[in-house]
Each structure stands twice: as C-alpha cells, then as structure tokens.
Chains A and B, each alone.
Chain A
C-alpha cells in the first residue's frame, strides 16, 4: 500500500547521468583522442620493454634500484623479478608495471601543483581537501563506469580511474610537507627579501621532498591495489590473471598472480621509500 505522504525520491542518479551524458556528448571527442594517444604511448612502452630479453630488463631495473636506493633493495629487485619471470608471468608483470608507473606519473604531475596550491592558498585548501576526502572514500569501482564512455574500454580508462583513486595522498602530503617547513626558516627567507617563488623553490619544496616522496609511495601502492579492478575493464596485466582465475575458480593461479602483485609492490615500495629517506635533512 502506498502511503499518502511518502517523500518523493531525489533523482540523484538521473541528475548524475544527465550531467555525465552532457559531458560525454561535448567532450568525448577530446577524451577519446587523448585516450588514443595515451594508449599508443603505453603500448609503445610495453612493446619496448618486451622487445628485449627479460634478463637484460632485469639487469637494468636492478641497476636503477641500486642507483635510487641501495644494494639491499637491488638484491630484492633481482630476486623478485627473476621469480616472476620463472612463473611465466613476465609479460603481465611488465604490463602492470607500465600501467602503475604511468598512472603514478600522471597522478604526481597533477598532485604536486595541487598540493602546492593547497599549501599556499587558504581558499584553495578549503576546496581541494574535501574533494580529496570524496575521491578517497568513493568506492574505486564507481570510477570505472564513467571512465568507459570517455576513454573506451582498456588501459586508459583503467589509468584514469587509478589516477583519481591514487592521487589524494600525493596531494595531501605535498601540502603537508610544505606547511611543515618551520616558520623561523620562512621568516629568515623573508628577511633576505625572498619572493614567494624563491621561497617555494629554494626552501619549501626542497624541505618537503621526503614528505612528498612518502605521498608518492602511497600513490604507487594505491595504484597497485587498483590493478585487479582495472582488469575488469580490460587493462590487462597481472590483474587480469587474477580476474581470470576468479572467473575460472582456479585458486592456485589466482594466488600465483596475487603473490606476483605483492612482490612488485614490495620492490616499488622499498625503492620509493629509500628515495625519500635519502633526501631527508636533519632539522638543525
């Protein structure tokens, strides 16, 4: 029985659809073309990495790990990657690595300026921070749905959702790192007649690097946590190995791919942590 005074439902879903339809109609041509180019870049990288024998790529990655971090992390890298190669997961590993790093790169490219803005302007802070809360608490799956009409099925949609989901910590920690610079040091820079930009580049950003790196580290981890979800819209990589295992109910294959993701996560985590530590300054 229908009650006479029932409050009508707000058509929130319809509104959002209408808004998205409008955006798709007017901007999809643009996003589709971005998508096409970005996809080309991604496959260029993947093809490039697959062109060389895994042994060479492993040596290169190990050297990079050694340069950026230390010999321990390099050892971890060489063992981890050889293990993944042995599991015959080399190609999905390269795909996932590429997606994660491209997504992280884009996220950081957007996050650092936003973080700086939020740190330096109170009104920007008041807009950006609630937005971050929203982006982080929204279930990640939801981003997949609108991504498809804009970017089509595949890696770019996955990257788009990953960027949105993984960006907030980089923004937050960039903002925090800049705000943490002691007032006394800012005052010293001011006393010598520094402009805002001079303060930013000579003082605030250099001192914020360890904190920013901690943010980037979290962004990488969140991006990795998206790989299975991203596989649902055709992103490929280790995520799709897991996804396939779910569909075929093959726990062994699922865990194997899952462990591969964990190994990749550990390597990326250790490298990015070490980069942050190396740039840490003693507060004098």
Chain B
C-alpha cells in the first residue's frame, strides 16, 4: 500500500518564484536561474512514493535539497509547485487547521540536532505531542513512559535534556516522535550528529524497532553507508533532483551515472551485496538415484573434485567427494547414499557477502544457495565474490 506520494515537487526560495518556475519548466538550470532572478531552486520536479512499512532513505550531499524535501512532506515548508499525497489524500491545499490535525495524527519527526525542549524534563518532552493533542494527563504519562522505555531510557523520566549525551538525547527525540504513535516517521539526518559507534547502535536499534512497529519511515542522510544499511529503497539526490531510486543492491551494482558511481566506489560492498548478486548456476550436479559409477563419470568429465547431490525436485542432499566416490565404485556399491556428506553449509540468497566470506574461509568448496524449502538455487564460489568486490562484472 502506498503511504506517501510526492508528485513533481518543486521548491524555489525567494521573493518572486514565478519567473524562476517558468524558467525551470523551460529547462533552465539551477545556477542560471539564480544568476538571472536571484531565486534559489532547492527542489525541482521531485517525484517518488513510499510504501507503508517501508524505510525509504533520501541520500545526497549538503545542499542537495534533502531537508527541504522532507519538510515539504508535512508542509513545514510550502512547496512552490507539485503535490503531496498522504494515504491517497492530496494535502497540498489543506487549510491551516486540517493541516495541524494531519501533523498531529500522522507524523512524528526527528531532527538532526535533537531539538529537545530545554525547559522540560524527558517525560514532558516525550509527552509534548500528546499535550498538543489535548490528551488527558494519565494517558500522556503512560504513553510517554512506554515510549521512553522502548528506547531504553526508563528511569530517566525526570532528567533534563542537557544532562544527557548526544546519543541519549536523540533517543529522547525518537521517543518523542514515537509517543504520538504516528504512521509516518520523518527523520532528517537523525543520526548525523552522533559519533560513529553510537550512530551504529542507533541504526541497529531503529531497525529492530522498525521490525516490531512497521512504521513508514522517510529517512534522510548524507552518508551512503547509512543509506544502504537502513533503506529498503534509496533515493539519491543531487542539486534538488533525483538521480536514482533503487534498492541498495541496485544502487551499488548498477549506478545510474558517474555521480552515483563515484559515491559507490567507496562503499563497503561486502555489506550491501548479497548472495543473489554473486550466485552462479550450480552446473553439473548429481542426483540421489545416480549410481556411484555415473557420478564418478560426471566428475571426471567435468574435472571436478566434489559434486552437489540433489533430489529430482531440486532439494539439496549434500556433497560427495571424488575419493569416497572412487572407493564406492571399487567396492561395487549400488547407491551413493552412504558417501554423502550432508553437513554442508548453506546460505539463502539475501545473505550479505560478509557472511559468505566468513563461511568460505572455512569451506573451500562451492557454497550452495538454497531457498526456504532447501531447494538448490545456485552456488557461490570464492572467485565470484572477489570479482564482485573488485567491481568486475
């Protein structure tokens, strides 16, 4: 289900955006518009949608329009042109009170520099949204306590924001957004001000919260590693425009242009790429009902020292090695059942390369990739991983 849809969002900062808008639709560039009219184009014709339950990450360098974009979604900034749909409803022309009501009901927002209220203790900070909604006190307290607890800050209700470290402050920021139980979380560089270790913790925590809560999250960052880690999909922005939209894997494997390619070069691909992208067909395999002699012939003709054994329906049984097959042939065995080493490590196709690498360090044979029913989908071999990391096709 589609939760947020942005259609041709354009934002021009300045006193008279009309001319600039006309120039923009005539295809004039951002810099030229600024030189000719003094108006700053922050967003031009941005369209995308966010599915319910999805984390969509918007990533771009400083000044690419990310903050402007996220603020157009709840109209903290009024778009100059274009529309925003929330749950299918066009909110672009909502009257003031309807807009306030929409913000209260649907949105929670987390800010880069936390934006906690310095005169309120943590409990009162977290219950702010509910207070704005005129919820009664007992209800507010319960919700706020629960939200603080969900971010691991129970017992800190009475503390003041300035007494906390940055990481803790942002937990409060997150709790404050969660306390109103919003459908949509808007996070503008929420973790950018935190130091790397804390940042990693917060990322993991958000992911595990998300697995429980299934909110729709629009997450802004200028860090590609963070984008690839957090995003179900990633929107890449440059100069107020979208350059590419795709899953982390798509972005890394098929960058849309040189701009994206330059970003992707420095990414730790082993965390982003999955078995899927290095999977190769299993080639020649043996079947459970093959005789040892048949298996040995297959191995010899393919010049292999080991071979995967599957059932006719593709279910993986294990692996056999040349030596034991030769022994079985010389003994005159009728089946290969007793030769099968069924203790084969397997992975599923969404496993990241880091996991594959650590398995292959101890398993110098082909690594089978299976689905949930243990059906063989293909294999991963060392050289395939090396090629992928070296960005060789």
- Which residue of chain B lies nearest to A184 when distances are taken between CB atoms in the complex? B115
**Minimal beta-carbon separation of A211 from chain B (angstroms):** 13
Known interface pairs A193-B133, A195-B100, A282-B162; A188-B118 also in contact (CB < 8 Å): no
- Which residue of chain A lies nearest to B109 when distances are taken between CB atoms in the complex? A191
B132, A191: Cβ atoms under 8 Å? no
Q: How far is the CA of A187 from the CA of B102 in the complex (A)?
A: 16
Q: How far is the CA of A206 from the CA of B125 in the complex (A)?
A: 14
Query: Is residue A203 contacting chain B, with contact meaning CB distance below 8 A?
Result: yes
Q: Mark A181-215, 1 if CB is under 8 A from B, else 0.
A: 01011011111111100100011001100000000
Query: Is residue B103 contacting chain A, with contact meaning CB distance below 8 A?
Result: yes
A192, B169: Cβ atoms under 8 Å? no
**Minimal beta-carbon separation of A202 from chain B (angstroms):** 7
**Minimal beta-carbon separation of B74 from chain A (angstroms):** 6
- Which residue of chain B lies nearest to A191 when distances are taken between CB atoms in the complex? B109
Cβ contacts under 8 Å, A203 to chain B: 117
A185, B101: Cβ atoms under 8 Å? no
What's the interface size class on B, roughly?
20 to 34
A188, B180: Cβ atoms under 8 Å? no
Q: How far is the CA of A91 from the CA of B339 in the complex (A)?
A: 114
Q: How far is the CA of A268 from the CA of B158 in the complex (A)?
A: 33
Query: Is residue A281 contacting chain B, with contact meaning CB distance below 8 A?
Result: yes
Cβ contacts under 8 Å, A194 to chain B: 100, 132
**Minimal beta-carbon separation of A263 from chain B (angstroms):** 34
Q: How far is the CA of A184 from the CA of B118 in the complex (A)?
A: 12
Q: From residue 104 to 131 of chain B, which have CB atoms closer than 8 A to chain A?
A: 104, 107, 109, 111, 113-119, 128-129, 131
Question: Per DSSP, are chain A's interface residues mostly helix, strand or loop, or mixed?
Answer: helix
**Minimal beta-carbon separation of B234 from chain A (angstroms):** 24
Query: Is residue B389 contacting chain A, with contact meaning CB distance below 8 A?
Result: no
Query: Is residue B22 contacting chain A, with contact meaning CB distance below 8 A?
Result: no
Query: Is residue B76 contacting chain A, with contact meaning CB distance below 8 A?
Result: yes
B118, A284: Cβ atoms under 8 Å? yes
Q: How far is the CA of A198 from the CA of B132 in the complex (A)?
A: 7
Query: Is residue A283 contacting chain B, with contact meaning CB distance below 8 A?
Result: yes
B118, A193: Cβ atoms under 8 Å? no
Q: How far is the CA of A203 from the CA of B118 in the complex (A)?
A: 9
Q: How far is the CA of A195 from the CA of B97 in the complex (A)?
A: 9
B132, A192: Cβ atoms under 8 Å? yes
Q: How far is the CA of A191 from the CA of B186 in the complex (A)?
A: 10
Known interface pairs A191-B103, A192-B104, A193-B103; A283-B132 also in contact (CB < 8 Å): no
- Which residue of chain A lies nearest to B173 when distances are taken between CB atoms in the complex? A188
A187, B111: Cβ atoms under 8 Å? yes
Q: How far is the CA of A194 from the CA of B161 in the complex (A)?
A: 21
B118, A282: Cβ atoms under 8 Å? yes
Query: Is residue B160 contacting chain A, with contact meaning CB distance below 8 A?
Result: yes
Cβ contacts under 8 Å, A191 to chain B: 74, 76, 103, 107, 109, 186
**Minimal beta-carbon separation of B374 from chain A (angstroms):** 48
Known interface pairs A207-B119, A282-B118; A193-B128 also in contact (CB < 8 Å): no
B115, A192: Cβ atoms under 8 Å? no
A184, B113: Cβ atoms under 8 Å? yes
Q: How far is the CA of A193 from the CA of B96 in the complex (A)?
A: 10
Cβ-neighbour of A192 out of B113, B118, B160, B180 (below 8 A): B180
Known interface pairs A203-B117, A282-B160, A284-B118; A193-B104 also in contact (CB < 8 Å): yes
Cβ contacts under 8 Å, A190 to chain B: 76, 103
- Which residue of chain A lies nearest to B105 when distances are taken between CB atoms in the complex? A193
Q: Mark B374-388, 1 if CB is under 8 A from A, else 0.
A: 000000000000000
**Minimal beta-carbon separation of B108 from chain A (angstroms):** 8
Cβ contacts under 8 Å, B132 to chain A: 189, 192-194, 198, 202
**Minimal beta-carbon separation of B133 from chain A (angstroms):** 7
Q: How far is the CA of A184 from the CA of B133 in the complex (A)?
A: 20
Cβ contacts under 8 Å, A189 to chain B: 128, 132
Q: How far is the CA of A164 from the CA of B169 in the complex (A)?
A: 45
**Minimal beta-carbon separation of A194 from chain B (angstroms):** 5
Q: How far is the CA of A112 from the CA of B186 in the complex (A)?
A: 36
Cβ contacts under 8 Å, B133 to chain A: 193
Q: How far is the CA of A282 from the CA of B164 in the complex (A)?
A: 12
**Minimal beta-carbon separation of B361 from chain A (angstroms):** 47
- Which residue of chain B lies nearest to A188 when distances are taken between CB atoms in the complex? B115
B131, A202: Cβ atoms under 8 Å? yes
- Which residue of chain B lies nearest to A183 when distances are taken between CB atoms in the complex? B115
- Which residue of chain A lies nearest to B101 when distances are taken between CB atoms in the complex? A193
Q: How far is the CA of A281 from the CA of B125 in the complex (A)?
A: 14
- Which residue of chain B lies nearest to A284 when distances are taken between CB atoms in the complex? B161
A185, B104: Cβ atoms under 8 Å? no
Q: How far is the CA of A111 from the CA of B12 in the complex (A)?
A: 38
Q: How far is the CA of A282 from the CA of B119 in the complex (A)?
A: 8
Cβ contacts under 8 Å, B117 to chain A: 185, 188, 203
Q: How far is the CA of A184 from the CA of B102 in the complex (A)?
A: 20
Q: How far is the CA of A284 from the CA of B103 in the complex (A)?
A: 25
B114, A284: Cβ atoms under 8 Å? yes
**Minimal beta-carbon separation of A210 from chain B (angstroms):** 10
Q: From residue 149 to 188 of chain B, which have CB atoms closer than 8 A to chain A?
A: 160-162, 164, 169, 180, 186
- Which residue of chain A lies nearest to B77 when distances are taken between CB atoms in the complex? A187
Cβ contacts under 8 Å, A202 to chain B: 128, 131-132
B128, A192: Cβ atoms under 8 Å? yes
Cβ-neighbour of A284 out of B101, B109, B111, B169 (below 8 A): B169
Cβ contacts under 8 Å, A184 to chain B: 111, 113, 115
Cβ contacts under 8 Å, A281 to chain B: 118-119, 160, 162
Q: How far is the CA of A282 from the CA of B117 in the complex (A)?
A: 10
A-B contacts besides A182-B115, A192-B104, A193-B103, 11 pairs, CB < 8 Å? A184-B111, A184-B113, A188-B111, A188-B115, A188-B117, A192-B103, A192-B128, A192-B132, A192-B180, A193-B100, A284-B116
List 27 interface pairs A-B (beta carbons < 8 Å), by A numbering. A184-B111, A184-B115, A185-B117, A187-B76, A187-B115, A188-B115, A188-B117, A189-B132, A191-B76, A191-B107, A191-B109, A191-B186, A192-B103, A192-B104, A192-B129, A192-B132, A192-B180, A193-B103, A193-B132, A193-B133, A198-B132, A202-B131, A202-B132, A207-B119, A282-B162, A284-B114, A284-B164
- Nearest first, the 6 closest Cβ-Cβ pairs linking A and B are A193-B104, A282-B162, A284-B161, A193-B103, A191-B109, A188-B115
